[in-house]
Structure 1
Amino acid sequence: MIALPFVRPLFWATLAAIMFQPLYQWLFVRMGNGPNRAAIATLLIITVAVLIPAFFIGGIIIDQAVAVFLAFQDGKIDVAAWFMQVHDALPAGVQSTLDSSGFANLDSFIARAQDFARESTGVIAQSALAIGSSAFGFVLAFGVGLYATYFLLRDGRSLGEAVVAGLPIERGLADRLAEKFTSIVRATVKGSIVVGLVQGALGAITFSIAGVPSAALFGLLMAIFSLLPALGPALVWIPVAIYLLAIGEIWQGVIVIGSGVLIIGMADNVLRPILVGRDTGIPDWIILVTTLGGIGLLGLSGIVVGPLLAGLFLAGWAILQEQREAKTA
């Protein structure tokens, strides 16, 4: 209970130590087997390559989210007007088809879409205000996370071996579960977070080139939707492309479509097999359900915790089944 306020920073420190342990080992050998120097060097690389860019991009996204939220409050953004603008710009045949199908009058749907957009940007804006109002707590948690990451990088292997040795199960079973734990963590971080960030960055660059306002915010949405298999990022760039084409910005819409199909869509197909491979052994639908459920229960940490629990359950089930079959053979 004493460490409960720092569960999240300790969790992310553990993930960072697992992900950057190979880098620490590489620096450890090249720095004359100096564990302290290797851990400090690894922490500096994490800070420069990951944390500083994350804070910079996060600041841009928060500014854009606050601006969009204020625009909704002031009535400057009208989703209904956008919908009618797209509808009126469509060819007459398409308009008549939509009208006959009942899509011409979607007041309730448009109102819900506008409420959803307002609430989504409001959550980001309110989160930013919450961080600002509790700046001391955020700085303290961040410092604890960095401090824990240092020691977990330096002593992580010995601590992991001690934990595995102390588990009240057979050592062989404990070793297999520990190996599965590490592989699932690395595969989930690389497969969900890294691929999502790449697709989000590509989307933000594409929207910026096409002149779409709040490009970084749209990039964040694309990174979030990338958790959904198959259509994920397309749920963001397809409506944007349709809107651009409908208002007459043809080349901008073509750029968004071309980038969405040829670059953003292919990024997942190319990167995921390279980064993840067959590390998890978890079906895609289970990863989807557990990831969304984890986010619903635990927030951002659920991206890793959900698939991790599912993977450990499946691994334990498979191991017990193997043992049962070995006894009956």
Structure 2
Amino acid sequence: MQKNTPYILFLTFVLLVTVSFFLLIKDFLLACFWAIILAVVFDPVYRLFRQYFKSSEILALFLTMIMIILVFVIPLLTLTLMITEESTNYYLKIQGGEINPQVYFQNTIKLLLPKFNKLSHMQALTVEQISSSAGNAFAEAVKYIAQQVPSLTQNLLNLIVQFALTFYILFFLLRDGQHLIRKLNFLIPIGDGIETELFERFTSVARATVKGGLIVAVIQGSIGGFLFWFVGIPAAFLWGMLMIVLSLLPVGSALVWAPAAVILFLQGQTLKAVIVLTVGILVIGMIDNFLRPRLIGKDSKMSDYLVLVSTLGGLTWFSLTGFVLGPIIAALFITCWDIMGKESQVSKRKQGQSL
């Protein structure tokens, strides 16, 4: 008992130091997570550059980072600037009287109110009552947005810090990744190659999720942008870019094309509304329901329903990060139980042989 006391004290100290370390970096765990995911996804690209530029590791790292910026950063930055510009122009048009939301509310309500009062058993509502309520709600929304403006600077600074930290960590993960993997294999006390199997599973699912998500997002956003241009919706390119971002989430593109179909219908453009709704459900929706699970499930070796459920669960628990983290957790869960099953079978065979 006395011999074990120093070891127990040491383990306690290790546990305390580990918990303290995670508490220390908890505000930057998101940056660490995305640095790891990007390193896993782009490690094959870095290896390719490394083979081509055998004498220059720094050049291979530099080109890999440039590719990551071209694939992720520039599209997101462009979309953010476009949304900001469009929002500013819309706000200025409202301030200048070019766009009057109250008139839009009244026209929409006049169109729908007779049908609503006919179907509803409640007391008949008037255009003035609903317009007043809608106007008050709009005013409250504008007030809320105005109140959030002071915090935008702080949020922007935090975003810049997280972004810079992600790329700083990513640089070293790409450079020292293989050394870190060997060290983790040495430190994790599992043995029998289990840690290697878990890491390979993590790597395959991370790459499949990001690759599949990006392919689906680009396809859905491109179809959605062309659809909006075809029916004459203004700023079709902007809406297409927004659909690309939202399509990273399951049924995320529907947050754009479904309201567009409703607005077209309310404006009396029934044919255009039917076209948007039909293409949205039968084409864009089917891509989300069939192509996404197959792209991710094929490489990650998970069934379609498990990919969908784990993605939705990940989004519920971890927000946007969950679209990658959810399938990873599900894959590791399955792998751990598979390993336990194999170990159990080996143990039973050994017991049978000993008898």
What TM-score range do you get, normalising by the shorter chain? 0.7 to 0.9
- What residue is the counterpart of 2:336 in the other structure? 316
Question: For residue 78 of structure 2, what is the amino acid of its counterpart?
Answer: F
Q: Is 1:140 aligned to residue 181 of structure 2?
A: no
Please state how far the C-alpha of 1:174 moved relative to its aligned partner. 1.0
CA contact (8 A) 2:216 2:248 kept: no
- What residue is the counterpart of 2:348 in the other structure? 328
Task: Output the CA distance in 1 between the equivalents of 2:166 and 2:213.
Answer: 22
Deviation string 1:167-191 (CA, Å, 9 cap, x unpaired) is: 1102421111111111111122223
Q: Is 1:207 aligned to residue 228 of structure 2?
A: yes
Q: Is 1:276 aligned to residue 296 of structure 2?
A: yes
Q: Is 1:195 aligned to residue 216 of structure 2?
A: yes
- Give the number of the structure with larger relative contact order, counting CA–CA contacts within 8 Å between residues 6 or more apart: 1
Deviation string 1:212-245 (CA, Å, 9 cap, x unpaired) is: 357577657755775776x664565345324424
Question: For residue 22 of structure 1, what is the amino acid of its counterpart?
Answer: P
C-alpha distance 327-65 of structure 1, shift in aligned 2 (>3 A):
farther
Q: Which of the numbers 152, 172, 177 marks the counterpart of 1:156?
A: 177
CA contact (8 A) 1:65 1:121 kept: no
Task: Output the CA distance in 2 between the equivalents of 1:41 and 1:61.
Answer: 29
Q: Is 1:43 aligned to residue 65 of structure 2?
A: yes
Question: For residue 311 of structure 1, what is the amino acid of its counterpart?
Answer: A
Deviation string 1:21-59 (CA, Å, 9 cap, x unpaired) is: 111111111112532210111101211332112111122
- What residue is the counterpart of 1:108 in the other structure? none
- What residue is the counterpart of 2:81 in the other structure? 59
Task: Output the CA distance in 2 between the equivalents of 1:49 and 1:297.
Answer: 27
Q: Secondary structure in 1 aligned to 2:208? A: helix
- What residue is the counterpart of 1:26 in the other structure? 48
Q: Structure 1: which 5+ residue stretches go unaligned?
A: 106-111
Range moving further from structure 2, 300-309 or 192-201: 192-201
Q: Is 1:5 aligned to residue 27 of structure 2?
A: yes
Please state how far the C-alpha of 1:317 moved relative to its aligned partner. 1.1
Range moving further from structure 2, 276-285 or 309-318: 276-285
CA contact (8 A) 2:249 2:323 kept: no
- CA-based RMSD: 4.6
Q: Secondary structure in 2 aligned to 1:169? A: coil
Sequence identity, in percent? Answer: 33
Q: Structure 2: which 5+ residue stretches go unaligned?
A: 1-22, 127-132, 350-355
Task: Output the CA distance in 2 between the equivalents of 1:26 and 1:205.
Answer: 35
Task: Output the CA distance in 1 between the equivalents of 2:335 and 2:187.
Answer: 19
- What residue is the counterpart of 1:76 in the other structure? 101
C-alpha distance 326-71 of structure 1, shift in aligned 2 (>3 A):
farther
Correspondence 1:249-288 to 2 at 5 A: 249-250=269-270, 252-253=272-273, 255-257=275-277, 259-260=279-280, 263-265=283-285, 267-268=287-288, 272=292, 275-288=295-308
Question: For residue 306 of structure 1, what is the amino acid of its counterpart?
Answer: G
Alignment TM-score, normalising by the size of structure 1: 0.73
CA contact (8 A) 2:293 2:308 kept: no
C-alpha distance 87-153 of structure 1, shift in aligned 2 (>3 A):
same
Alignment TM-score, normalising by the size of structure 2: 0.69
Task: Output the CA distance in 1 between the equivalents of 2:44 and 2:136.
Answer: 46
Q: Secondary structure in 1 aligned to 2:63? A: helix
User: Which structure has the bigger radius of gyration?
Assistant: 2
Q: How many pairs were matched up?
A: 321
